[in-house]
Structure 1
Amino acid sequence: MVSQGWIDYYNNFKLYFIISNRDFRANAGHQFQILATLCEQAQQTVNSALQVFLQRQFVSSQIISQELFRSQINESIERWKSNTLNSFLHLTQLIRVTNQGNQLINSFHNFYFYLDQISEQLIPVPANYSTCSCARSSACQIPMGIFVYNWTIFDYVELFRIPNFFTGCFLVESLLESTLECFYDHQCMNIIESYTSNTTTNFSLLDTTRNSPNETVQSIINRLMIDAWQSNISFSAYYKMCSPLSCTYEQTRRHDIVYLISSIFGLFAGLVFGIEILILIILRFIEKMVNDFSLIELKRRFKDLFICREEEQIINRCHFILLILTISLLYMATSLTLVAKTERVIKPSLFTYQYLLTNYQDSLQCSCSHISIEYQSFLTITSRIHQICSSDFVSNDWIDYIYNTIDPFHLNYTDFRTTATGQYQLLASFCQFSRQVLNDALSNLLTSHFIDTELLSYNVLYERIQSSLKEFQMAIPNSFLNSLSVIRETTGANMLMNTFMTSSEFQYETAFTMFSIFYTRPLSYEKCNCGLSSKCVQSSRGMMAGCYPLEALLQSTFQCFYNQTCIDSHNVFQALNISSSTSSQFLINSSIESILNKLMVEDYSINISYEKYFSHCEPLLCSYSYCGHRDILEMTLNIIGIYGGLVIIARFIVVFFLKLYLNKNQKVSPQKGET
């Protein structure tokens, strides 16, 4: 159906007789050419976007798990598909609305001309399909069929109707509303063939197992004409390209048997030695007290503790004092020294997490059980559009009012009212288009996933979302503005005519007696000629008139809409409220183009439900570190562990220094000889 042979088959059909513009044979070649172009553009869009996507770098400071890797790649793929689809649909939609607003002339489907005998000017008249006028809507359409002219009744008679296949003001509009069910049906194709050729064609039918015959072309376009997507994510290839140099890990486990045995022996030795000495002292003291127990004897025994008559007593008591002092100093030093402690909380509640965050903000870390969370599960974003988009001036009632009260085809081309219907249709379309672009972009953002292995605090989460929103605000208008710029330039460069005859006009010249010659002449606005620039405009009735309705609208302002006399002196529709403009980021005299550059958005508001974010994250474990004193049990066990060694070292020190002292102070008496 989109092959050149199929298109040529209908384009080469010889019309030897008068044929209706509703006839399938007159339109099929053009519509299948449009369908082929859409297929080609869809394929090119996907290929170009895919090439750019595959050239992107996957950046990560360290290798990530297979689950997280697949989650991030799938998230990127889904976002890429959505962006690619929206980009294609927005471009086609923008072309369609600007064509309608500019009322560009096509091959006598949306208008016809008649020659005014008095002024000798060609007057354009909008075409009507049933009760629908092409000046008001591009969606006017009627079914196509096979027609023959009946000379008896001087009208066309329908011989066969193509099921759900339409023609209208613009062939692309009617094609999108059509289905291809006839081309799934062998009988339908045979009937068409019988009216177009005496030979049998070799074109194959469409496959009903792949697509539904009742599906409209618009619904096919809405999925980029793609039946299914396939992707292959290779974690092994990613791991190979990453080629990690080293890996570190943390493991929580019980102490091994060697450590336990050595610790027990250390404690046992210290306890045995200490208890042995303590028991001996107690037994010796009890023995002496039992033999001679009295208060006076108790005092004497206590004094004897500090009276040393023998070297061994001095050593024992100095040893005891040094040992007590050493243990006390070690205990005090250990108790005063701050050490880093790490605590863990399993599956904390939100209240517990907030308490920990308040007290241990710098070291608190919580791992999420779900690393990928949809934004829309905890985030809402709303936008406020310029008040013109919610006013009566973009309603069908207003456009119908303008269309029914003004005859644009008998006004001077410099009068704004000539293109008023087209400009208001464009304004309404831009409001609708802005909302659609915003909704698609916000839907794309909110259905994407927020990926992070760690639970973030509210402030950090808010900053991350604000940063994403700023990127979102900057990126959204770019594609729209680029597409609009291309449309404006190509329309002007090709000097396409519109039915309002505001860019050029027909000049009538009778050169021969049998027929007349018409040629086009570019029009001028003040000192600007539409043949040199499509952006020529001229002020008219508070608005702008120009070569094209689109250019005139973009260079206008909304000032007239705030003035009742300017916008509607009959008071049928109320002007905009001037007080509402104080809350707008746009000035009253801002051009519509500058407002459209921001998609007519006044501001965005976001609402983050941290409770829902916490619930979806569902942290498994939180750990935090702090500096604190050792507990009594830990210090006691440590000192007991080194007690045996302290006893030996203390005794060695006492003996060494006592011997040194005694040797130094020992007096040697000299012997006196006889004289």
Structure 2
Amino acid sequence: MEDLMIEQWNPSSSYEQYWEACAPIYCTYSQIAHTKTFIGVLMALVSIISSLTVVLRIGINLLAKFVIDLFKRTPKRQNEVKPKLYDRLKKMFLTTMMQASAGMINLNIFPIWRFGSNTDRMTAKRLGQWSTRLYIVLFLTSLTIIIIYIGVQPQMLTKSFNEPNLNVYNRLLREHGDTLQCPCSSISSTYSQFIQIKPVFHQVCSSIFVSNAWRTNLTNGLVSDLSIYDTQDYRRFLSAHLQFLKGLCQSSIQSINDSINQFLSSSLVTTNIITETILNSQVNVLIDQSKSNALNIFARLLFFLQSANHGNRLVSGYGTNFKFEGSYVVEVLYDNQCSCIWNRTCTIQATFINKNLSEIIAVNGLKMGCTPSESFLQSTLECFYNYSCINIIQTQTNSSYEMNSPPLITGASRFPINTTINDLVNDLFVENWLTAVNYSLYFNQCSPKLCSYTYIQELNSFYTVTSVLSISGGLMFILKWISPILVRLLVAINRYRKKRTNVVQCESNIPMTTITTVNIMPRQMNIQPEAINLQSESNDLPLPTHCSSFLLCYHEVICWIILIFVVLLMVILSFLTIIPHAKNEAVISASSSSCQLTFELLTRQVDSRQAEGSIAVSDFDNDGLWDIILTLFRQYTNIVVFGDGYDSFTRSITINTACSTTGTYVIAADINNDAQMDIVTACDGGPNIVSIILGNGDGTFREAIVYSTGEDGYAIWLDTGDFNGDGNLDIVASIYGISGNRTVEVLFGDGNGFIGGHTRFSTGQNDPSWSLVVGDFDNDRQLDIAIGKSYVPQIVVLRGYGNGSFGPPIIIELESIIFFASWIDAVDINNDGYLDVIVTNAGLDNVAVLLGKGDGTFQPSMTFSTGVFGAPYSGVVEDFNGDGVLDIAAVNYATANVGVLLGYGNGTFGPPMMFPIYDSRMLGMIAADFNRDGRMDLAFIGLASLYVPIMQNTCECCEQEFFNMSRTIHQ
């Protein structure tokens, strides 16, 4: 059986079948290669240089001549009227254009030898001029087409980053999304390298009720022969039930741990790094599968044992399913005539039967039935939540054992107290799976050596200029070679056409030379055309003549001007393109070395008594310095610690809250409209709900006034706001109802420090309310209330009407299996003008952010880790690094540290920066500039703590900003 009767495992694999099942559509490979070879680069450089040489040779000559003429000094003549600057520039421009036009007409860039040795000099010159004009036309036309083609053609560009760190990767991912590719240098890594899973089991599995000592002491007072007890006396079942409970807990813990170890030992294989969101999603799916596998395996095993026992009609040694009567076996009947023959789950109420006193004492929640195991699975743990019920068991078993541990805690489990053991077993007694995915460790395991992203650039001026210049050199070379050939070909065709016409022309061997001299004004130009040979070839081609006017030649000059202007414009645009790229590179390199946030931990003794876990901050003595108020553990008083501006807090006073029990929560607010800060404390239990202590503004306070609503429950959380529009602050408290109330209580202030009335509002049908915050979530200028639930992943919003009443609860579901809203706040985290909600989840290790839409609804929640297994119990939202963007700090109750999440300004946050506190019982925190250095510090309070840890912000490189003392922060 240990080997499941298996002789041998014969694995067989077929790669061909795997290939056919995969059926890849295409295959690709990538390699880093230069876009041009050395020869290609050399040719491109030669082409660019030759192009620039031609353009600059023409442009610089014209520019130099223009500048020389502009600043040329002419001798002054007597009685000469000095023309205006505009007239001088106009005259100079016209003169330059005339000279340029004359030069363009006679321009010849081709040597005589290009037209053959049998061509006379004058004919070669004439052909060269026409070839030059054809060359210019073809070059400009081709260049225009190339510029248009290259300019409008989109370019697929790839940008790479070598060995990026996590910050650079996150920034690139936010900016470029799915186009970012980061191949992993190590494609396989086990989940244990970056995932931690810590199951939290039901409190009964770690309680005294599963210990051998408690079971032994209980059963020592019983008679060893249990048959002397009545068959329906619970003394027969007690020892078996306790042993079975211990076995179920141990088996459940072992099954869960085996499933976790199996999952963590498996490997994650990825060729490219996956995002944190996808990684968390994949891990959650795999963990859910591991949970399901563990539950199914254990359930099948238990069902097999139950079926085997019942199917074989095994007789219980306790005589509870069958009894012998003579030679027969008779069935035992239970409630509703249930027979153990047909139903193994028959049960009755567990009772202690005292025959001497004829007394039957019921044991709440526990059952007796066919077998101890079956009856215990139908039982509940209600008795173990009640101290009186536990005393009954100890009394009826004659136990002298003193139980130092308390009963099971109501509300500390996601299972109701009336949950059957069978239902607990179906979940393997698991309260929660604390899963911590450390993305930075995964990133280090993947260790991408290169990250790249691709983008399409519609117009790249630098690329266009370089491409045009590199092409223009080769284009000029080709056109210089082909233009004379085309001209000679056209001349030959023209000559052949004329010969075919058989036109008789008068021949003359006498060369005719015509010289015409045109005399113009002394300050005008002398134009003297050269002698023209009018031999027979003169009829083949029209003679080049000078322009009769400037306007007739202007179109030839303007082509060169446009060409020079276009080239210069491209060069300028290329520089304008290069400069932003250089700036971007500088920003990228600078962002990877951002300022590091630092804190120094200080401790301050506050009182010889113990603080409880609620802390608030305000200025109670009007000295411009932050003071701290604390609640005391199992005392009816608060402590006010006065700041001195140096983090010392050397002076403190004690004030009486008049609460009948411990104060659970404290805030500072101006309740009586005297511009002095008062203290409001939530009372834990008893008839009192809140205590109001009015401040005098000099560090002293008046006598406390307590208020009771006379209804069930006690206050857990407090906030203030004017809910009925009378200009006076009202108080709202979340009520933890003993009988299951799920409400908030609004106490309406009268402006004098007294309460004028109160009203309760329902927060829905789910688990009790815990934390709450006041804000205008629908932008109707009326205050609303957002409530965080305990043990249910929900936020409830009550929309205020401005008259002291509220609408029905609006339920907002959060994406979390386990949830406990231990702290909540409302701020505009992404600067869109709408209030957002931030809530810590002490059930796991994250903080949830819900971005508001401005209409009372929110976008889907986003979660950000506060540290592995942290259980964040409180938080603050402030700008800790002085970058103008709000950050989140959360104190982790379980790991004794603080996780600071730096904000990006868009509602998202980076990975937590961890700072130790060295005390794992911290429940509350506040933020304020205690030492007046312009940086936000932190202060904490814990459970039964004798001191207040203070984290002084020592970040020297962080920008210091003035902190407004009028703002009140309370936790």
TM-score band w.r.t. shorter chain = 0.5 to 0.7
Contact 2:414/2:431 (8 A) holds in 1:
yes
Does the 8 A contact of 1:561 with 1:576 survive in 2? no
Give the unaligned 5+ runs of structure 1.
1-37, 48-225, 509-517, 667-675
Partner residue in 2 for 1:549: 372
The residue type equivalent to 1:253 in the other structure is A
Kindly provide the amino acid, as one letter, of the partner of residue 328 in structure 2.
Y
Counterparts of 1:110-129 in structure 2, within 5 Å, are none
Answering whether residue 358 of structure 2 is matched by residue 358 of structure 1, we say no
Match of 1:247 in 2: 27
- 1:60-99 Cα distance to aligned partner (Å, 9 max, x none): xxxxxxxxxxxxxxxxxxxxxxxxxxxxxxxxxxxxxxxx
Cα distance between partner residues in 1 of 2:375 and 2:200: 26
| Residues 594/292 of structure 1: CA separation in 2 closer, same or farther (3 Å cut) | closer
Corresponding residue for 1:464?
282
CA contact (8 A) 2:385 2:408 kept: no
What amino acid is aligned across from residue 539 of structure 1 in structure 2? Answer: Q
Number of aligned residue pairs: 428
Report whether the alignment pairs 1:565 with 2:565: no
Decide which of 538, 543, 546 is 2:348's aligned counterpart. 538
Going from structure 1 to structure 2, the CA distance change for 1:461 and 1:315 (only over 3 Å counts) comes to farther
| CA spacing shift, 1:389–1:293, aligned 2, 3 Å | closer
1:434–1:599 contact (8 Å) kept in structure 2: yes
For CA contacts below 8 A with separation 6 or more, give which structure has more relative contact order. 1
Q: How big is each residue's C-alpha offset from its partner over 1:246-297, in whole Å with a ceiling of 9 and x where there is no partner?
A: 533233334576xx76775566456536634653676689899999994569
Matched, 1:43 2:9: no
Match of 1:68 in 2: none
Which amino acid counterpart does residue 590 of structure 1 have in structure 2? T
Name 1:396's counterpart in structure 2. Answer: 212
8 Å CA contact 2:377–2:421 kept in 1: the answer is yes
- Kept after mapping to 2: 8 A contact 1:383/1:603: yes
Structure 2 residue aligned with 1:426: 244
Q: What RMSD over aligned residues (CA atoms) do the two structures have, in Å?
A: 4.7
Asked if 2 retains the 8 angstrom alpha-carbon contact of 1:534 and 1:547, the reply is: yes
Q: TM-score, normalized by length of structure 2?
A: 0.39
* One-letter identity of the residue aligned with 1:378: F
Q: 1:353 to 1:398 in 2, by over 3 A?
A: same
The sequence identity of aligned pairs, in percent, is 26
Residue 375 of structure 1 is matched in structure 2 by 191
Q: Distance in 1 between matches of 2:325 and 2:209?
A: 36
Distance 1:334 1:276, change over 3 A: closer
Secondary structure of 1:43 counterpart = coil
In structure 2, the CA distance between the partners of 1:284 and 1:618, relative to structure 1 (3 Å rule), is: closer
Paired position in structure 2 for 1:586: 415
5 Å-filtered alignment, 1:49-128, equals none
Aligned partners of 1:345 and 1:305: how far apart in 2?
Answer: 53
Question: How far 1:626 moved relative to its partner?
Answer: 3.4
Deviation, structure 1 residue 399: 2.2
Please state how far the C-alpha of 1:630 moved relative to its aligned partner.
6.7
Distance 1:338 1:453 in 2: 30
What does residue 521 of structure 1 align with?
A: 330
Cα shift at 1:642: 3.2
Which amino acid in structure 2 is aligned with residue 427 of structure 1?
Answer: L
Query: Where in structure 2 are there 5+ consecutive unaligned residues?
Result: 76-87, 108-131, 351-361, 488-544, 553-971
Cα 1:353–1:315 shift into 2, 3 Å: farther
Question: Aligned partners of 1:524 and 1:370: how far apart in 2?
Answer: 66
The CA distance in 2 between the partners of 1:266 and 1:426, in whole Å, is 86
State the Cα distance separating 1:552 from its structure 2 match. 0.6
Q: CA deviation at 1:302?
A: 3.7
Deviation at 1:464, TM superposition (A): 1.7
Structure 1 match to 2:258: 440
Shift in Å at residue 437 of structure 1? 0.4
- 1:523, distance to aligned residue in structure 2 (A): 1.3
Q: Secondary structure at the match of 1:474?
A: helix
State the 1:402 CA deviation.
3.5
Letter in structure 1 aligned against 2:196: T
Contact 2:66–2:96 (8 Å) recurs in 1: no
Q: How does 1:272-311 map to 2 (within 5 A)?
A: 272=50, 275-276=53-54, 278-279=56-57, 294-295=72-73, 302-307=93-98
Structure 1 Cα separation of the partners of residues 466 and 273 of structure 2: 38
Decide whether aligned partners of structure 1 residues 537 and 280 sit closer, same or farther in structure 2, where only a CA change above 3 A counts: closer
Cα offsets for 1:379-427 (capped at 9, x unmatched): 1101111111111211112222333223321122122221221111111
**Quick check: 1:477–1:598 contact (8 Å CA) kept in 2?**
yes
Distance 1:289 1:522 in 2: 124
How far does the alpha carbon of each residue in 1:156-179 deviate from its partner, in whole angstroms, 9 at most, with x for none?
xxxxxxxxxxxxxxxxxxxxxxxx
> How many Å separate the matches in 2 of 1:443 and 1:457?
25
Q: Which amino acid aligns with 2:300?
A: N
Query: Contact (CA 8 Å) 2:196, 2:436: kept in 1 or not?
Result: yes
1:230, CA displacement in angstroms? Answer: 7.6
SS at match of 1:568: helix
Which amino acid in the other structure matches residue 426 of structure 1? F
Post-superposition Cα deviations, 1:7-34, rounded to whole Å, max 9, x if no partner, equal xxxxxxxxxxxxxxxxxxxxxxxxxxxx
* Counterpart residue type for residue 304 of structure 1: T
1:519-576 CA-to-partner distances (Å, cap 9, x unmatched) read 3221111311222322211112322110100111011111111222323334835498
Decide whether aligned partners of structure 1 residues 234 and 538 sit closer, same or farther in structure 2, where only a CA change above 3 A counts. same
Matches within 5 A, 1:331-346: 339-346=155-162
| Preserved contact between residue 308 and residue 314 of structure 1 (Cα < 8 Å) | no
Q: TM-score with structure 1 length normalisation?
A: 0.54
Instruction: Output aligned runs, 1:24-39, within 5 Å.
Output: 38=1
String of CA shifts for 1:201-233, please: whole Å, max 9, x gaps: xxxxxxxxxxxxxxxxxxxxxxxxx9xx78566
Check 1:576–1:481 CA distance in 2 against 1; reply closer, same or farther (3 A cut): farther
Residue 43 of structure 1, CA deviation: 3.4
C-alpha distance 362-573 of structure 1, shift in aligned 2 (>3 A): farther
* Paired residue type of 1:643: S
Q: Give the structure 1 partner of residue 752 of structure 2.
A: none
Matched position secondary structure for 2:343: coil
2:384 and 2:408 in contact (8 A); partners too: no
Q: 1:285 to 1:487 in 2, by over 3 A?
A: closer
Q: Distance in 1 between matches of 2:374 and 2:404?
A: 23
CA distance in 1, matches of 2:70, 2:227: 138
Closer/same/farther in 2, CA of residues 288 and 506 from structure 1, 3 Å limit:
closer
| CA spacing shift, 1:266–1:622, aligned 2, 3 Å | closer
Q: Which moved more, 1:638-647 or 1:373-382?
A: 638-647
The farther-off stretch of 521-530 and 438-447 is 521-530
Q: Which moved more, 1:579-588 or 1:444-453?
A: 579-588
Take 1:472 and 1:250, find their aligned partners in 2: how far apart are those partners? 37
Give the counterpart letter for 1:560 in structure 2: C
Shift of 1:234: 5.8
Q: Relative to structure 1, is the Cα distance of residues 575 and 410 closer, same or farther in structure 2, using a 3 angstrom cutoff? A: farther
1:457-511 deviations in Å (ceiling 9; x for gaps): 3222222212222222223211211221222122112210122111111223xxx
Cα offsets for 1:15-60 (capped at 9, x unmatched): xxxxxxxxxxxxxxxxxxxxxxx36xx334x58xxxxxxxxxxxxx
Of 482, 486, 489, the match for 2:300: 482
Conservation of the 8 A alpha-carbon contact between 1:495 and 1:531: yes
Corresponding residue number in structure 2 for 1:170: none
- Asked if the contact 2:332/2:339 (under 8 Å) is kept, the reply is yes
Distance in 2 between residues matched to 1:503 and 1:553, nearest whole Å: 14
Aligned mates of 1:421, 1:497 — CA distance in 2: 18
**Structure 1 residue 333: Cα displacement:** 9.7
2: distance between equivalents of 1:555 and 1:587? 15
Q: Secondary structure at the match of 1:506?
A: strand
Matched, 1:621 2:450: yes
**Residue 4 of structure 2 aligns to a residue in which SS?**
helix
- What are the residue-to-residue correspondences of 1:209-228 with 2, within 5 Å? none
- 1:343–1:624 CA contact under 8 A, matched in 2: yes
